[in-house]
Amino acid sequence: MSNQSTLSVHSRTETGTGQCRRLRDKASIPGVFYNAQGANLLFSAERTPLQKLFNKVGLSQVFQLEISQDGEVQQHPAIIRDIQFHPVKGAITHVDFFGVDLTKKINVYIPVEVTGKPKGVVLGGILEIFRDELEVVGLPMSIPEKIVIDVTSLEINHNVHVQDLKLPESVELVFDDNFAVVGVVSPSASDSESEEKEAEAAE
C-alpha cells in the first residue's frame, strides 16, 4: 500500500541470450517494462536492489520505477508482473514490470495470512489453509499487502469462506463460488495418519 519503494534501472539495447548472460555475469538482471498504453522498454537492473524490492513489494504492491535513458530519467508507478529464477541457484534471472495507471483498477493475487490458534485445534482438529493467495481487483494504491484472517473462533468442521472476508472499500475479491479459504478439519478426516499407518504396514 506504500509508494515509498523506488528502483532505478538503466535502459538497454542489447537483446538475446548471449547479451543477457553477459549482463547477469556483471550482477545485472535483464528485464522488460510494459504498460496498457503499449510502451515496451528493455532495461537492466542491479541484482541486490531488485532482490530487496521483490522481498518488500512481492507481486502485488506498487513501487516507483526510474528508468534512465539517454541522460533522462522517466518515472513510472509499476508492479512486478512476472519474475524468473535460476532453477538451481534460485537467483533472479529476468523480471517483468507492468506500468500501472493509478486511477484504473487492476487484478492481482495477494497472499493469505492466518493468525491465532483455533478452538478446534485445541480440541484436536487440524488447521487447513485451502487457498494461499486470493485474486482481488482494486485501485493499485489501495491493494493491501496481505489478507489477514483471524481463526481464533474457528471450531472443528467450520470454515472461513471467501464471502466472509473483509477488505478495504475500493478492493474486491474475485470469485465465482463461495469457496472455503481456511478450515479446521477433524483428525479422522485427515488422511495423513492413515498414510503413516500404511507406511508402517509397508515396512
Report the distance separating Cα 29 and Cα 50, nearest Å.
8
Min dist CB 159 to another protein, Å, is 16
Beta-carbon contacts of 96 under 8 Å, excluding residues fewer than 6 positions away, are 31, 32, 33, 34, 80, 81, 82, 83
Can you tell me the distance from the alpha carbon of 149 to that of 57, in angstroms, rounded to the nearest whole number? Answer: 20
Segment near another protein (CB under 8 A); pick from 14-22, 83-91, 153-161, 173-181: 83-91
Q: Is 169 in the site for another protein (CB under 8 A)?
A: no
Sites for another protein among residues 110-149 (CB under 8 A): 111, 126-129
Q: Measuring CA to CA, which residue among 83, 103, 95 is closest to residue 42? A: 95
Cell numbers 478450515: residue? 183
Is there binding between residue 192 and another protein (CB under 8 A)? yes
**Nearer residue to another protein within complex by CB, 52 or 86:** 86
Residue 59 contacts another protein per CB under 8 A: yes
- Total number of residues that touch another protein (CB under 8 A): 23
Which of these segments, 1-9, 21-29, 166-174, 190-198, binds another protein (CB under 8 A)? 190-198
